[in-house]
Amino acid sequence: MRQIRHRDAVVLSVLAASFLLAGELANQDIQYVYETYIVRSGALGNVGLLFLVVGLIILGFTTYFGGVFVLLGGLHFSWGRVSRGRFLTSLGIGVSLLGLVSRVARSVLTTGTALTEVVPLTTSLTGLGILFGVASYTLMGQYALMLKKHAKRVWRRWRKPQPPARATPRTPTTTSSGRTARGARR
């Protein structure tokens, strides 16, 4: 079995994707959107309208895209493709943050304050998902990779068993005849 590289970033990416996806599933908006825009609007009878409505609904739930992209980034981290993994993770976090910004903008327009939307989102699973995604992204930076390698080397050196200390130090004994190595062989 192949060893997974960059396990810590993979774990953080999976946690971030899980939190981002669970944050959207917990708020029960999907059932409301399905009933309102698909069933009541009569889109089930027209295939073209159904595809359009489903496409718009998918675009409306951008955090789902963020969770999927972060999960794909973690998969690429496990394969050792750091640059692709960082791209997908940053794309997922960016899409999730755009969803967060759109909710904040809607909140400011309707209530006049951003706190009505910011506080519930940042203290929910979505906020934790964004936080873990940013941690995974920064963990796979060039400087972070260098520090990780250095820390691994220091850890191995520290864990390596030390030779037992001798009770008496060795005293150098010189029993040389003064001849060179070539002369000693003759």
Two structure tokens written together for 68: 């999927």
In a domain, 162, yes or no: no
Q: Contact 92/73 with Cβ under 8 angstroms?
A: yes
Output the CA–CA distances (angstroms, integers) from residue 81 to 56, 77, 160, 162, in the order listed: 32, 6, 30, 37
Amino acid at 79: W
In a domain, 174, yes or no: no
Query: Is residue 169 predicted with pLDDT exceeding 70?
Result: no
Sequence-distant (≥ 6) Cβ neighbours of residue 80 within 8 angstroms: 5, 6
In a domain, 179, yes or no: no
In a domain, 67, yes or no: yes
Q: Is the dihedral of CA 131, 133, 138, 144 positive or negative?
A: positive
Per 3-state DSSP, what percentage of the chain is helix, strand, and coil (rounded to 5)?
A: 75, 0, 25
In a domain, 180, yes or no: no
Residue with tokens 């691994």: 152
Question: What single DSSP character describes residue 37?
Answer: I
- Closest to 89 (Cα-Cα) out of 143, 173, 23, 15: 15
Query: Is residue 160 predicted with pLDDT exceeding 80?
Result: no
Residue with tokens 């993979």: 10
Q: Is the dihedral of CA 135, 19, 8, 85 positive or negative?
A: negative
Tally of CA atoms within 13 A in the half-sphere of 122 that contains its CB: 8
- Comparing 136 with 30, which gets the higher pLDDT? 136
In a domain, 105, yes or no: yes
SS3 28: coil
Query: Is residue 180 predicted with pLDDT exceeding 50?
Result: yes
* pLDDT bracket for residue 150 (50, 70, 90): confident
Two structure tokens written together for 12: 């953080």
For the chain, what is the domain count? 1
In a domain, 176, yes or no: no
Residue 37 structural domain: 7-157
In a domain, 90, yes or no: yes
Query: Is residue 181 predicted with pLDDT exceeding 80?
Result: no
Express each pLDDT in 47-92 by its tens digit: 888 888 887 777 667 667 788 888 888 888 888 788 888 888 888 8
Query: Is residue 10 predicted with pLDDT exceeding 80?
Result: yes
Two structure tokens written together for 148: 């990780």
- Closest to 24 (Cα-Cα) out of 129, 134, 98: 129
